């Protein structure tokens, strides 16, 4: 019997040399393993960079849910390909339901961003690095978290609050939606931390240019207060912002040659003409379909035509407004030289040398917005007297006469309109409408807009009529539905009223 064992051992040993669990330990060599990351400054910095990077992903779809749905933009109706029907068209035509994929994508992208934010926040404590640095990273992450929750709470109302990374699938099913007030509590608390932890823009190193500063946190907190109609707090907070001023020319604000300029409070960074994945694709979604290079000078380059200015906003520009030609074009000459009256956004179109690789940054907060918020908040708090000083520099830059002699209500209307034009296509309009109108007022307003679009479609519809339900906005649609896919996996989630 010993003999048998001996032979078996020799033979087995041949393969047992590589044996044991270590033989079964296979790690993906092409990617970093998350479990052992976030240990030191370099690793945490790269994870924070990842958080910024996800803001690019978020911004690339933000226009669908905040601009496109408003009265600012519409779509270049595609007779031949209605494949976008249930998603993009649903939003433009107010045919949203809990399955509308662009709403789901928006919701998902927001929580995706939050996941990375929460991971970094939870790992900061254990990472080996300077405490001041930790504080700085915490400030940046908490600004981001506040920004994400602010988007969520405005779009969806009550939402799930998740502040820690979720470890197993089982845990994820135990969350319920928190009331709006609780979400704002978190947002304010995060922003207050950010304000105390973050450096002023002036003290940020050149090689960090474009990152979040204290000014950005103040501006965002001001916006939160404004949204919550805490006007006095809004004024106090926004007034603390210093070191920013308006660019002399409106066009310079969006010029890729002058990124992160003195007016920029916070913008999403992009880079043109390279293959490192940092280009911004906005204009390729916005400019007209089937323009075949007539608009963007690359042979056969076609746009999506999804986010085009409405006749309504084109008409809203006052005569002589210098911002109009910067922001939009009312049509273009096609390759045969024939005028084609399809309007498109030009604000985010700047020359680039490689097709599909523009580099326009996307403004999230800029000083003009701060000034307009101050004008709005101070008017609501104390009347229009203080507001002129904030709004008029913007009008003057646009080549328009300054405002004067308005009562509180007229000033309110004037500032809202000024915001629409000054911040056109920068994804503020939907939130501005929701902030300044009750859901019923919003419904009345948007139904009027819809009726106008139905009778004067911005683009030709090729003989295809609107459905009866198109452009019918009901008050409950002021909040988006919680995606059906989320309710399917978590039966504890409630749906917003009005949606099935």
Q: Which of 464, 476, 497, 498 binds another protein (CB under 8 A)?
A: 464
Please enumerate in sequence order all residues whose Cβ is within 8 A of that of 210, keeping only pairs 6 or more positions apart, or say none.
Answer: 259, 260, 267, 269
Looking at the DSSP bridge assignments, the partners of residue 362 are 268
Size of the site for another protein (CB under 8 A): 102
Closest CA to 59 of 479, 428, 452: 428
CB of 181 to another protein, least distance (A): 20
Q: Comparing C-alpha atoms, which of 457, 121, 155, 482 is closest to residue 310?
A: 457
Residue (of 347, 309, 365, 358) closest to 146 by Cα position: 365
Rule CB under 8 A: which of 146-165 touch another protein? 160, 162
Q: Which of 182, 255, 278, 386 forms a contact with another protein (CB under 8 A)? A: 278
215: nearest Cα among 322, 351, 109, 366: 366
Question: Is 50 or 393 the residue whose CB approaches another protein more closely?
Answer: 50
Residue 110 CB partners (closer than 8 Å, separation 6+) = 58, 148, 151, 152
CA 363 – CA 269 distance, rounded (Å)? 9
Site for another protein in 28-67 (CB under 8 A): 28-35, 37, 45-54, 56
**61 within 8 A of 109, measured Cβ to Cβ:** yes
Give SS3 for 281: coil
Sign of the Cα torsion 439, 444, 449, 450 reads positive
Tell me which residues in 370-399 interact with another protein (CB under 8 A): none
The single residue among 173, 331, 383, 498 that binds another protein, judged by CB under 8 A, is 173
Do 115 and 146 meet the contact criterion of CB atoms below 8 Å apart? no
The window from 20-28, 134-142, 178-186, 409-417 that contacts another protein (CB under 8 A) reads: 20-28
> Contacts with another protein in 233-252 (CB under 8 A)?
none
With CB under 8 A as the contact rule, the residue among 2, 24, 315, 405 that binds another protein is 24
- Footprint on residues 112-131 left by another protein (CB under 8 A): 112, 114-116, 119
Within positions 88 to 117, which residues make up the interface with another protein, using CB under 8 A?
90, 95, 97-99, 107-108, 111-112, 114-116
Residues 287-326, one symbol each (x = binds another protein by CB under 8 A, - = not), give: ---x--------xx-x------------------------
CB of 135 to another protein, least distance (A): 19
Q: Of the listed pieces 130-138, 388-396, 400-408, 489-497, which binds another protein according to CB under 8 A?
A: 489-497
């Amino acid at each position: 019997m010993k003999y048998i064992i001996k032979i078996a051992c020799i033979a087995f040993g041949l393969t047992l040399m590589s044996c044991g669990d270590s033989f079964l330990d296979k790690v993906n060599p092409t990617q970093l393993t998350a479990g052992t990351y976030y240990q030191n400054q370099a690793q945490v910095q790269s994870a924070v960079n990842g958080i910024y990077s996800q803001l690019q992903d978020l911004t690339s779809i933000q226009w669908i849910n905040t601009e496109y749905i408003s009265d600012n933009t519409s779509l270049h109706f595609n007779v031949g390909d209605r494949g976008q029907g249930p998603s993009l068209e649903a939003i433009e035509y107010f045919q949203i339901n809990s399955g509308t994929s662009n709403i789901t994508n928006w919701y998902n992208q927001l929580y995706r961003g939050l996941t990375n934010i929460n991971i970094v926040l939870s790992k900061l404590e254990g990472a080996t690095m300077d405490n001041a640095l930790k504080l700085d990273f915490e400030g940046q992450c908490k600004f981001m978290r506040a920004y994400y929750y602010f988007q969520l709470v405005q779009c969806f109302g009550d939402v799930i609050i998740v502040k820690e990374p979720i470890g197993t699938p089982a845990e994820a099913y135990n969350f319920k939606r928190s009331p709006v007030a609780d979400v704002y509590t978190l947002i304010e608390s995060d922003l207050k931390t950010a304000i105390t932890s973050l450096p002023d823009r002036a003290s940020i190193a050149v090689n960090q240019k474009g990152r979040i500063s204290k000014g950005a946190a103040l501006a965002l907190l001001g916006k939160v207060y404004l949204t919550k109609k805490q006007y006095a707090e809004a004024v106090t907070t926004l007034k603390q912002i210093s070191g920013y001023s308006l660019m002399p020319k409106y066009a310079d604000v969006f010029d890729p040659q002058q990124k992160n300029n003195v007016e920029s409070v916070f913008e999403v960074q992009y880079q043109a003409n390279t293959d490192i994945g940092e280009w911004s694709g906005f204009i390729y979604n916005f400019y007209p379909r089937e323009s075949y290079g007539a608009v963007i000078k690359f042979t056969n380059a076609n746009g999506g035509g999804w986010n085009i200015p409405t006749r309504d906003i084109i008409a809203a520009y006052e005569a002589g407004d210098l911002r109009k030609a910067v922001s939009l074009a009312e049509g273009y000459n096609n390759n045969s030289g024939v005028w084609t009256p399809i309007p498109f956004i030009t604000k985010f179109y700047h020359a680039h040398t490689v097709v599909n690789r523009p580099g326009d940054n996307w403004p999230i907060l800029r000083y003009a917005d701060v000034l307009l918020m101050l004008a709005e908040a101070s008017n609501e708090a104390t009347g229009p007297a203080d507001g002129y000083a904030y709004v008029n520099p913007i009008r003057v830059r646009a080549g328009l006469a300054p405002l004067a002699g308005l009562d509180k209500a007229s000033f309110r209307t004037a500032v809202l309109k000024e915001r629409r034009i000054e911040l056109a296509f920068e994804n503020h309009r939907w939130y501005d409408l929701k902030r300044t109108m009750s859901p019923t007022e919003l419904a009345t307003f948007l139904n009027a807009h819809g009726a106008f679009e139905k009778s004067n479609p911005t683009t030709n519809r090729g003989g295809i009529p609107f459905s009866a339900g198109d452009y019918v906005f009901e008050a409950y649609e002021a909040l988006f539905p919680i995606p059906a896919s989320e309710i399917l996996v978590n039966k504890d989630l409630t749906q917003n009223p009005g949606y099935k």
